[in-house]
Amino acid sequence: MVKRAAFPFLVKIEKSLIPGSPLINYVLLTTELLYRFQTYYFLGIDARPYTFSYSELRTATDDFSPSNKLGEGGFGPVYKGTLIDGRVIAVKQLSVASQQGNIQFVTEIATISSVQHRNLVKLYGCCTEGGKRLLVYEYLENGSLDHALFEQRSLNLDWSTRFDICMGIARGIAYLHEESRLRIVHRDVKASNILLDSDFIPKISDFGLAKLYDDKKTHLSTRVAGTYGYLAPEYAMRGHLTEKVDVFSFGVVALELVSGRPNADSSLEEEKLYLLEWAWHLHENERDIQLVDSKLSEYSEEEVKRVIGVGLLCSQASPMLRPSMSRVVAMLSGDAEVSTITSRPGYLSDWKFDDKTSFMSDIETEGIDTRPYNFTESTSMFDDSQPSPVLATVPMLQDSSIRE
Burial 241-277 (b: 16+ CB within 10 A, else e): bbbbbbbbbbbbbbbbbbbbbbbbbeeeeeebbbbbb
Element (H, E) at 282: helix 275-284
Q: CB of 105 within 8 A of CB of 164?
A: no
The phi, psi pair for 65, rounded to 5°, reads -60, 140
Yes or no: say if 119 and 172 are a contact pair by the CB < 8 Å rule: yes
- Is the separation of the CB atoms in 346 and 280 below 8 Å? no
75 contacts: CB under 8 Å, gap ≥ 6: 92, 93, 94, 95, 101, 104, 208, 379
Active site annotation includes 214? no
Task: Give the span between the Cα atoms of 66 and 51, in whole angstroms.
Answer: 24
Parallel, antiparallel or unpaired: strands 226-227 and 398-402: antiparallel
Distance CA 395, CA 389 (A): 12
What helix, strand, coil percent values describe the chain, rounded to 5? Answer: 40, 15, 45
Whether 102 and 12 have beta carbons less than 8 Å apart is answered as no
Closest alpha carbon to 71 in 59, 63, 62, 80: 80
DSSP letter, residue 393: T
What CA–CA distance (Å, rounded) separates 340 from 17?
51
> In terms of Cα–Cα distance, which of 157, 164, 166, 147 is closest to 309?
166
Q: Report helix, strand or coil for 272.
A: helix
CB 222 within 8 A of CB 241: yes
Catalytic residue among 146, 188, 206, 399: 188
Instruction: List residues with catalytic annotation.
Output: 188
